[in-house]
């Protein structure tokens, strides 16, 4: 992969027009676009609540956005977490779109992971572990243990059930990479913030260079690219700067 192909831009916006503009602007400079829950549900709500003529126009815009992204550059961030049969049905629908990858929550369990993998077609199935907004104390409250331990549990389950990759904090990359058990899994990391970006609501973060050196294959990055600081410039300039940082880190690793 080229350095730019490791960048997944999070289209965490509710406006179809803004999302389309970002895709057209950034497509030559990044690898994938993440379609998340905010966009999915905002679009569905608008399609159902708008007057019919406006809903038809919105549907045309959504279809135009899908065409602009194209399946091979799409990451459907669905975070599926339900009983296995429901996960299977949703995974089948998503994979029929020809997306590059989609995700489920590893916490849904082994059978749900198997169900998604069974119907993935040419898509890659990634498993979400512990969200990067969750700190140690909250992780203990939710899952009964600290992030490092729970991530290992979840990633072990993903590997055992033939998922293609995992999504975890950059902070967990180093010990995941040290284990042969996880060597076959691709690793995508949100919680990536360049030195020049605002931290926001992410708690367990690294810079792009740090994440690549720690073993990340893909970096999920939203606001630092879609809404960069004024001194950085446009989204394209932000993406190029991050790609340069990734390339430098890869070179230093000797890849």
Residue 53 lies in a domain: no
* Summary mean pLDDT of the chain: 91
Total structural domains in the chain? 1
**Parent domain of 235:** 3-37+70-253
Residue 58 lies in a domain: no
Residue 249 lies in a domain: yes
For residues 19 and 232, is the Cβ–Cβ distance under 8 A?
no
CATH of residue 108? 3.20.20.70
Residue 59 lies in a domain: no
At 104, give phi and psi (nearest 5°). -130, 165
Percentage of the residues of the chain whose pLDDT score is greater than 90: 75
Query: Which one is catalytic: 79, 114, 146, 240?
Result: 79
Residue 155 lies in a domain: yes
Q: Which pLDDT score, from 0 to 100, does residue 69 have?
A: 95
Residue 60 lies in a domain: no
**What residues contact residue 16 under an 8 Å CB cut-off, 6+ apart?**
43, 58, 61, 62, 65
List, for residues 156-213, the tens digit of each pLDDT value: 999 999 999 999 888 788 888 777 778 889 999 988 889 887 655 545 578 999 999 9
79 is catalytic: yes
More confident call, 133 vs 3? 3
Count of CA atoms in the C-beta half-sphere (13 A) of 5: 5
Q: Which pLDDT score, from 0 to 100, does residue 203 have?
A: 52
Q: Calculate mean pLDDT across residues 219-245.
A: 95
More confident call, 255 vs 81? 81
Q: Give CA–CA dist 130/115, Å, rounded.
A: 21
**What residues contact residue 87 under an 8 Å CB cut-off, 6+ apart?**
80, 81, 104, 108, 112, 115, 116
């Amino acid at each position: 992969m080229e350095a730019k192909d490791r960048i997944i831009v999070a289209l965490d916006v509710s406006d179809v027009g803004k999302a389309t503009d970002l895709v057209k602007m950034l497509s030559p400079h990044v690898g994938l676009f993440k379609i998340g829950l905010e966009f999915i549900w905002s679009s569905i709500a608008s399609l159902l609540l708008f007057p019919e003529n406006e809903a038809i126009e919105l549907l045309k815009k959504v279809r135009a956005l899908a065409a602009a992204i194209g399946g091979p550059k799409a990451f459907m961030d669905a975070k599926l977490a339900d009983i296995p049969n429901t996960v299977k049905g949703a995974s089948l629908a998503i994979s029929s779109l020809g997306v590059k990858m989609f995700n489920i929550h590893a916490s849904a369990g082994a059978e749900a992971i198997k169900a998604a993998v069974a119907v993935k077609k040419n898509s890659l199935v990634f498993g979400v572990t512990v969200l990067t907004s969750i700190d140690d104390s909250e992780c203990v409250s939710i899952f009964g243990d600290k992030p490092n331990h729970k991530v290992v549990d979840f990633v072990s389950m993903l590997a055992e059930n033939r998922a293609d990759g995992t999504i975890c904090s950059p902070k967990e990359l180093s010990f995941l990479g040290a284990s042969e058990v996880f060597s076959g899994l691709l690793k995508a990391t949100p919680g990536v913030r360049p030195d020049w970006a605002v931290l926001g609501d992410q708690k367990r973060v690294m810079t792009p260079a740090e994440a690549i050196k720690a073993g990340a294959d893909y970096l999920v990055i939203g606001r630092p690219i879609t809404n960069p600081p004024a001194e950085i410039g446009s989204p394209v300039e932000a993406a190029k700067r991050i790609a340069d940082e990734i390339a430098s880190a890869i070179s230093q690793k000797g890849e």
